[in-house]
């Protein structure tokens, strides 16, 4: 686990570094990798059915009281004790299937289990990438908001100082001075709130990455660095060939197909071979050893099972038909989601372009209002209005970039991108 000792430099994070750390530290990814490993062992365990099954056993029996047999010998009853005091038995048995069609088909199912585990691990990775990206963008948005609020507070301080100077020389009224002071004091809590938002967003990022919350982290970058990606000629994406949900449904369909084949092959006779070797010893004081061995072929022909296999096949076919309908609905909903994401991204581009033009105009308007206020040709209300318009335009611009990148991350997850 990545940790930083107190007093050391903070961990500087770019988006690529955050994703790299998450891939190695996130518990969801670790669990997914373990699931793949576990499925591999299950597959190997299934293949063991093809190898000979060898068992060795031994037993010892001590006779406490021998059995008595009564026999008629020339018209006279005679009692005879049967058995030996010591009886030892050892045996070795080896058996293996020679013809078992349903077993061979079950081996394919085990391979598909591993394939499903790998796809589920890929799905976990894709989901984690989206979460890290969105958490990273949330930190950048919080930092941008803090930057804007800090600038607003600094401007409010400067305006108050200018108003106070004008008030001291009799060029501003008491009301104007109080209004400037109130504006400055109202701006200060917004800065504190923005600082807390940055802290909370950073904690969320660290939690998603899977690192200790006490780790000092400094997120590198700003939302404006993603404007090139936002303004790149827009191309709608609707390819679902790598969508993990559909791929998992396809694997389930192939598993059901293989299950039906396996169930049908249970009608085929099975043939197995076995070899048995025994070594027995018995006696009272001295043991006498007697070896014996057998080899056998076992043929099993299914005749009638009360239609159990027949009904099991029908059940699997119905399940497969249900899965086909589920896949159809899933694909339809995914295409609706893709259309929705594409529309949202197109709207974000329009909002950014409008906000970008507004920021430039609002900045000029504020600069002009500030100069006019200095020379007494504009009121404090007009200056505050210009400041508010600039603040809203800057936040709207940042929000448009954030919304675009968050929506893009969701779309990437939907179409199966793991980058």
Report H helices in 210-289: 227-231, 244-264
Chain position carrying tokens 């701006």 = 187
Contact at 8 Å (CB) between 378 and 372? yes
Q: Does the CA dihedral 344-347-353-359 come out positive or negative?
A: negative
Predicted local distance difference test score (pLDDT) of residue 246: 95
Predicted local distance difference test score (pLDDT) of residue 235: 63
Q: Look up residue 329 and give its two tokens.
A: 């609905």
Tell me the angle at which helices 15-25 and 27-47 cross, rounded to the nearest 10 degrees. 40
- Residue at 6 is within a domain: no
Please list the residues that pair with 281 across neighbouring strands: 88, 289
Secondary structure (3-state) at 241: coil
- Residue at 387 is within a domain: yes
Predicted local distance difference test score (pLDDT) of residue 327: 95
Specify the number of domains making up the chain. 1
Q: Does the CA dihedral 306-307-309-315 come out positive or negative?
A: negative
Predicted local distance difference test score (pLDDT) of residue 313: 94
| Structural domain span for residue 118 | 11-53+98-269+305-415
Task: Specify the pTM.
Answer: 0.81
Predicted local distance difference test score (pLDDT) of residue 172: 79
CATH number, domain containing residue 402: 1.20.1600.10
- Residue at 369 is within a domain: yes
- Residue at 65 is within a domain: no
Instruction: List, in order, residues 6 or more apart from 26 with CB less than 8 Å away.
Output: 128, 208, 209, 210
Predicted local distance difference test score (pLDDT) of residue 6: 45
Alpha-carbon distances, residue 221 vs 122, 139, 199 (angstroms): 28, 10, 16
Predicted local distance difference test score (pLDDT) of residue 402: 95
| pLDDT-flagged residues of the chain (< 70) | 1-8, 233-237, 419
- Residue at 224 is within a domain: yes
Query: Which helix (H) or strand (E) is 172 found in, with range?
Result: none
- Residue at 83 is within a domain: no
Predicted local distance difference test score (pLDDT) of residue 233: 64
248-274 pLDDT, tens digit each: 999 999 999 999 999 999 999 999 999
100-117 pLDDT, tens digit each: 888 888 888 888 989 999
C-alpha span between 358 and 397 (Å, rounded) = 9
C-alpha span between 149 and 60 (Å, rounded) = 89
Predicted local distance difference test score (pLDDT) of residue 234: 58
C-alpha span between 68 and 80 (Å, rounded) = 6
Residue 268 backbone dihedrals phi, psi, to 5 degrees: -80, 135
Residue 238 backbone dihedrals phi, psi, to 5 degrees: -140, 25
Predicted local distance difference test score (pLDDT) of residue 293: 94
Predicted local distance difference test score (pLDDT) of residue 2: 45
Predicted local distance difference test score (pLDDT) of residue 135: 95
Predicted local distance difference test score (pLDDT) of residue 8: 61
- Residue at 278 is within a domain: no
Task: Spell 106-143 as b/e; 16+ CB within 10 A means b.
Answer: bebbbebbbbbbbbbbbbbbbbbbbbbbbbbbbbbbbb
Report H helices in 169-274: 174-209, 227-231, 244-264
- Residue at 293 is within a domain: no
């Amino acid at each position: 686990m990545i940790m930083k000792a107190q007093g050391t430099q903070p961990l500087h994070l770019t988006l690529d570094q955050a994703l790299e750390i998450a891939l190695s530290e996130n518990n969801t990814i670790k669990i997914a990798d373990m699931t793949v490993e576990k499925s591999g062992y299950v597959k190997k365990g299934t293949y063991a059915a093809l190898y000979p099954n060898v068992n060795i056993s031994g037993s010892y029996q001590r006779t406490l009281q021998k059995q008595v047999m009564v026999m008629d010998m020339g018209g006279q009853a005679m009692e005879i004790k049967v058995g030996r005091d010591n009886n030892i038995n050892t045996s070795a048995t080896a058996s293996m299937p020679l013809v078992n069609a349903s077993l061979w088909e079950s081996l394919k199912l085990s391979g598909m289990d591993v394939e499903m585990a790998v796809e589920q691990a890929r799905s976990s990775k894709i989901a984690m990438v989206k979460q890290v990206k969105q958490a990273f963008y949330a930190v950048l948005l919080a930092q941008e908001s803090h930057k804007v609020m800090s600038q607003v507070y600094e401007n409010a301080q400067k305006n108050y100082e200018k108003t106070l100077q004008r008030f001291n020389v009799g060029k501003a009224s008491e009301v104007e001075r109080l209004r400037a002071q109130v504006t400055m004091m109202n701006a200060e809590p917004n800065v504190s709130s923005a600082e807390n938002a940055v802290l909370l967003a950073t904690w969320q990022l660290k939690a998603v990455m899977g690192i200790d919350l006490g780790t000092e982290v400094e997120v590198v970058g700003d939302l404006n660095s993603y404007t090139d990606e936002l303004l790149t000629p827009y191309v709608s994406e609707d390819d679902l060939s790598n969508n993990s949900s559909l791929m998992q449904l396809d694997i389930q369909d192939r598993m059901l197909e293989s299950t039906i084949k396996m169930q049908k092959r249970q009608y085929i006779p099975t043939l197995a071979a076995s070899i048995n070797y025994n070594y027995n010893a018995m006696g009272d004081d001295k043991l006498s050893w007697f070896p014996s061995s057998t080899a056998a072929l076992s043929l099993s022909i299914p005749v009638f099972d009360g239609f159990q296999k027949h009904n099991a096949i029908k059940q699997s076919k119905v399940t497969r038909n249900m899965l086909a309908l589920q896949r159809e609905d899933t694909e339809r909903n995914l295409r609706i989601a893709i259309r929705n994401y594409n529309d949202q991204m197109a709207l974000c581009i329009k909002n950014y372009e409008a906000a970008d033009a507004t920021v430039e105009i609002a900045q000029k308007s504020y600069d002009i209002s500030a100069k006019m206020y200095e020379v007494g040709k504009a009121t404090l209300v007009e200056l505050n209005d210009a400041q508010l318009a600039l603040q809203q335009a800057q936040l709207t611009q940042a929000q448009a970039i954030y919304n675009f990148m968050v929506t893009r991350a969701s779309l990437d997850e939907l179409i199966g991108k793991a980058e």
